[in-house]
Structure 1
Amino acid sequence: MYEAGKAAQVSAEMRRYNIALLGLSETRWLQAGQKRLASGELVLYSGHEEENAVHMEGVAIMLSRTAQKALIGWEAHGSRIITASFKTMKKNIKMNVIQCYAPTNDHDDKDKDQFYNQLQAILDKLKDREVNILMGDFNAKVGSDNRGYEEVMGQHALGEMNENGERFADLCGLNDLVIGGSIFAHKRIHKATWVSPDHITENQIDHFCITKKFRRSLIDVRVRRGADAASDHHLLTARLKLRLKRMDRQAAGRAKYNITLLKDQTIQEAFTMTLRNRFEVLQELTTNDADAHDLWKGTKEALKETCQEVLGPKKNQHKDWISVDTLRKIQARRLKKEAVNVKRTRASKAAAQAEYAEAHTEVKRSIKKDKRHYIDSLAQEAEEAAYYGNMKDLYMITKKLAGKYSRPERPVKDKQGQNITDSEQLLERWAEHFEELLNRPAPENPPDIAETEIDIDIDCDPPTREEIIHA
């Protein structure tokens, strides 16, 4: 994800496979925050908190427009874990998603213990009656032998269980989680989630787990090898018989109209004529005894209807800086990957992989060229906005060039120190906080502040023209 244009490629594959919620591992983004893509997807990400840290590890959750409406809250837990909660159609039941990126099997035991202890602490806070989903790159092979883990996994996983697999299976058993990739019978090519650099070795190290109580809601878990984002991992998908519910948001603010069209003399005259006609009708309908409230209501409706008819609503346009030529090259690279997947011999697979690598290099070169062109065009727009004194556009363009994205609000905690994700409980906690803050008893010994002996000479006259120009 740290590579230029990678987020746009991932979101395109997400839409192509009609995925509502996509977990990402090894994003290599620093700190924690959220970013809205030009195509409308929302990315919640968590990485190393240090600003000068190395761009390694990192996790994220990419949400479609449907999933965004059901989002209750989310929380970052460092560079390896991120959590999010969603409202479902089932009454009083939330869906909690935990996206992880576990240490590899070669890491020190200290790092593994720290990761699994942190993950267990997060799972302990979740309720058993809620839909809890644990997914991500666990670098763990659970194997097909499920002796001792019959309640946790099936017999359809790949390979043999390694040390990370034992840790992972024990964690699932302790928290009543079922490993979805091991209970559905599929071909081997639809189970392997990772391919080694030699393109020969394949392992199943990415997993999707769900609470045992909601095991029947899990319809299928399988790999989609057609998804292409130039990664050594395949896309692991899960189908759930569970619908997300749209959150009841607060009433939207006032409607915004495309007032920039009024700069056109023709549209300005049409707007004036339409508004004048509506006011004339309004004056005929009203009498001298009309209430002031009714007069204002009629005037307001006349203005709104005129703006809607002549100007139309203002649309937030996000520029997608990737050119059409680059999109064609991305499509050509996807076809190269399909050719790699269908090859049977090592020689033909190696030749197809070499062609895919060449296509990927061409895509990266084209994306960098588009990025430079996009930045140059933004800089030119900023210069024009500064020349004409358009400070609003100048600020927005500068914000885009700076690349600063809004960081999430820190999670609100109750008096016991537990994080609050429910919106109603969050409002109650804020009300409780301000009630205690603004209703403190008067101090027993108020400070004795002596009056000043010298009056300060303050000029209360209106500012002069020279002072305004100087300011």
Structure 2
Amino acid sequence: MMSVPIESSSASEIHGLSSHARASPACDAQLPRLTSVRSGRGLPSQRRARLKKLVKVNLRVGTLNVGSMTGRGRELADMMRRRRVQILCVQETRWKGNKARELGDGFKLIYSGANSSGRNGVGIVLNEEMKTKVTNVNRISDRVMSLRLEIEHLVINIICAYAPQVGCDEEIKEAFWRELEHEISAMPNDERIILGSDLNAHIGRGNSELTSRIRGIWGMGDENDEGKAVADFAVAADLAILNTFFQKHDNHYLTYRSGGRTSQIDFLLCRRQHLKEVSNCKVIYGEAVVAQHKLLVIDCVIESEKSNTKKEAMPKIKWWKLKDPIMKCEFKRKVMDSIEEMNEDEWWEQSSKGMKKAGKEVVGVTSGKGPPKEKETWWWNEVVQEAIKKKKEAKKNYDRTGSEEDHEAYKRTKKIAKKEVAISKAAAMDEVYKELETREGEKKLHKIAKTRDRATKDFTHIKNIKDKEGRVLRDEEEIKERWEEYFRNLLNEENERRIFEDGAPNQGMTKGIEREEIVFVLKKMKNGKATGPDELPVEAWKAMDEVGVDL
């Protein structure tokens, strides 16, 4: 644990300081009040100073070099769920392109693609809650990317970095550090930064007068040239290297193991001013997702103003179930019964309530909690889970003993698990293809394509306002000014227009709406569209057949 040295003071010095002592710090919440004595109960609400409620945000962030994301997505999501990791930076994904992908169980990977040779690549995995907090994604290269989260009233920038190996050209190394420094320097000082990285560097144990602010005294190994570059970067950006500030057993420093060699090359960093918010940093052993690298995590407790917005459930009637002939007939019968109980004029006034009541009774309503979690992991069956479990147990035995026999057992179970995943995926996809060949499957094809395309987006809902330069606005007044500017430009644009001196000719009496027109319009209207003020979709009127047209 990091301790703060206390210099000794004489009794006279202490007595002199005691006359200026405060019961609370100078920056506490008493200062904004109008007076520290008189009650403000009788004052107008605008002049009453109110203490803002604070909420503690518990956050666990990790970093892991995965070697390749191919075939590891679902296993990675399972590991994050068990280890309660909300955000995970992954390096060496080796996936090309700049997209996002659902991994299953609510976890989503946003990645910056590998180079032309299929190497490198970085990404950030978010759990179900955190993926809704993303407001911006910035892909710099196949080695550096960042995303911006807004949690309560906090802004947290998550950066994922993968440094070149020791043997790479100096130009590649310099380009990497230049990209990383430029990205961090562009972030406002009041926003938090968490950098999860594989820096391929040894920083060693201990620190110097120059690095004592950003580096603790704990660690492993000896510092090399790459480690000095890491220290120089951290000093320039004022980032604390979190691995070095917490005393742990040696195993909880080592992030890499291969061929009997162990080292500490993966690091988590944050702004030095926010170091007090980090309560722990350690390596978690026993995970078999990757053979060489180990999962490194930090635990943060951040205080923020409590958000007053509450997400309310919005149950909806399952109108799409009216495709079922039995439900359609039952719905039609209930609506007709309600018509018989009153005359047509009265029923027309109550049509919305009557049809919605019949719909709730026949087809039911949703829970209002939104769509279910990603269903793209049908292949994650009991056979696959058992194979993964055996691989994990074999990995634990090998980590504990280090014997050649256990190493062979681990490699054997790893091969079996990989084979079971491939077989299960192929079988699941065969079922999908068979379903798509049917008549109903053809209708689902467009929906599946649309859903998968949406899943590749970084975020599906825009939750922020940007200025003309693309900078995300947070201040309420700036947001109002931006909306004012937008509508001023939109509504005051001058266009060419034709002025008619004479008014439009009188067309005389027009015919009323005929029955054939209603039938034609109902056929043309598509299902699943937004409803009007009566909240009745076109499916409800179509289900009424000829009776609906007559009404």
- Shorter-chain TM-score category? 0.7 to 0.9
Change (3 A) 1:87 1:296: farther
| Aligned-pair CA distance for 1:325 | 0.8
Change (3 A) 1:20 1:403: closer
Query: Given the alignment, which residue of 198, 217, 220 partners 1:155?
Result: 217
Aligned residue in 1 for 2:141: 78
Structure 1 length normalisation: TM-score? 0.78
Q: Distance in 2 between matches of 1:380 and 1:427?
A: 53
Aligned residue in 1 for 2:302: 242
Q: Distance in 2 between matches of 1:189 and 1:288?
A: 80
Q: Distance in 2 between matches of 1:34 and 1:69?
A: 13
| Aligned-pair CA distance for 1:371 | 2.0
Asked whether 1:172 is paired with 2:234, we answer: yes
CA displacement, residues 178-215 of structure 1 (integer Å, 9 cap, x when unaligned): 1110010111111100112x1x1111111111111111
Identical columns (%): 21
Q: How do 1:364-443 residues align onto structure 2 when only pairs under 5 Å count?
A: 364-385=418-439, 391-397=442-448, 405-406=456-457, 414-415=467-468, 417=469, 419-420=471-472, 432=485, 435-436=488-489, 439-441=492-494
Aligned residue in 2 for 1:467: none
Query: Given the alignment, which residue of 178, 190, 197 partners 1:117?
Result: 178
Q: Distance in 2 between matches of 1:231 and 1:246?
A: 42
Q: Which has the larger radius of gyration?
A: 2
Specify the code of the residue in structure 1 equivalent to 2:278: L
Change (3 A) 1:296 1:179: farther
Aligned residue in 1 for 2:398: 340
CA displacement, residues 349-370 of structure 1 (integer Å, 9 cap, x when unaligned): x221111111111111111112
Aligned residue in 2 for 1:450: none
Contact 2:395-2:410 at 8 Å conserved across structures: yes
Aligned residue in 1 for 2:53: none
Q: Distance in 1 between matches of 2:397 and 2:490?
A: 66
The count of aligned residue pairs is 424
Change (3 A) 1:291 1:419: same
SS at match of 1:241: strand
Change (3 A) 1:246 1:370: farther
CA RMSD of aligned residues (A): 3.8
Q: How do 1:440-455 residues align onto structure 2 when only pairs under 5 Å count?
A: 440-441=493-494
Aligned residue in 2 for 1:138: 199
Q: Distance in 2 between matches of 1:63 and 1:78?
A: 20
Contact 2:161-2:199 at 8 Å conserved across structures: yes
CA displacement, residues 392-450 of structure 1 (integer Å, 9 cap, x when unaligned): 312245678999934669999744x454375977897687467546644458xx9xxxx
Contact 1:270-1:310 at 8 Å conserved across structures: no
Asked whether 1:213 is paired with 2:270, we answer: no
Q: Distance in 2 between matches of 1:403 and 1:132?
A: 28
Q: Distance in 1 between matches of 2:172 and 2:266?
A: 19
CA displacement, residues 194-242 of structure 1 (integer Å, 9 cap, x when unaligned): 112x1x1111111111111111110000000122213411000111112
Aligned residue in 1 for 2:410: 356
Change (3 A) 1:247 1:360: farther
Q: How do 1:3-18 residues align onto structure 2 when only pairs under 5 Å count?
A: 4-18=70-84
Which piece of structure 1 moves more, 256-265 or 226-235? 256-265
Q: Distance in 1 between matches of 2:235 and 2:317?
A: 53
Contact 1:70-1:247 at 8 Å conserved across structures: no
Specify the code of the residue in structure 2 equivalent to 1:306: E
Structure 2 length normalisation: TM-score? 0.67
Q: Distance in 2 between matches of 1:86 and 1:407?
A: 12
| Aligned-pair CA distance for 1:159 | 0.8
Q: Distance in 1 between matches of 2:136 and 2:89?
A: 16
Query: Given the alignment, which residue of 354, 364, 384 partners 1:299?
Result: 354
Contact 1:139-1:206 at 8 Å conserved across structures: yes
Aligned residue in 2 for 1:227: 287
Specify the code of the residue in structure 2 equivalent to 1:65: E
Q: Distance in 1 between matches of 2:426 and 2:391?
A: 22
Asked whether 1:102 is paired with 2:157, we answer: no
Contact 1:257-1:312 at 8 Å conserved across structures: no
Q: Distance in 2 between matches of 1:329 and 1:248?
A: 44
Contact 1:85-1:421 at 8 Å conserved across structures: no
Change (3 A) 1:276 1:337: farther
Contact 2:137-2:458 at 8 Å conserved across structures: no
Change (3 A) 1:309 1:398: closer
- Unmatched 5+ residue regions in structure 1? 447-461, 463-471
Query: Given the alignment, which residue of 113, 136, 151 partners 1:47?
Result: 113
Aligned residue in 2 for 1:469: none
Aligned residue in 1 for 2:57: none
| Aligned-pair CA distance for 1:308 | 6.2
Contact 1:228-1:337 at 8 Å conserved across structures: yes
Asked whether 1:30 is paired with 2:96, we answer: yes
| Aligned-pair CA distance for 1:176 | 1.5
Aligned residue in 2 for 1:455: none
Q: Distance in 1 between matches of 2:348 and 2:450?
A: 47
Asked whether 1:204 is paired with 2:255, we answer: no
Change (3 A) 1:112 1:73: same
| Aligned-pair CA distance for 1:273 | 6.0
Whose RCO is larger (CA < 8 A, sep 6+)?
2
- Unmatched 5+ residue regions in structure 2? 1-65, 499-516, 518-551
Contact 1:42-1:63 at 8 Å conserved across structures: yes
SS at match of 1:140: coil
Q: Distance in 2 between matches of 1:439 and 1:211?
A: 45
Specify the code of the residue in structure 1 equivalent to 2:417: V
| Aligned-pair CA distance for 1:377 | 1.4
Contact 1:88-1:95 at 8 Å conserved across structures: yes
Aligned residue in 1 for 2:382: 324
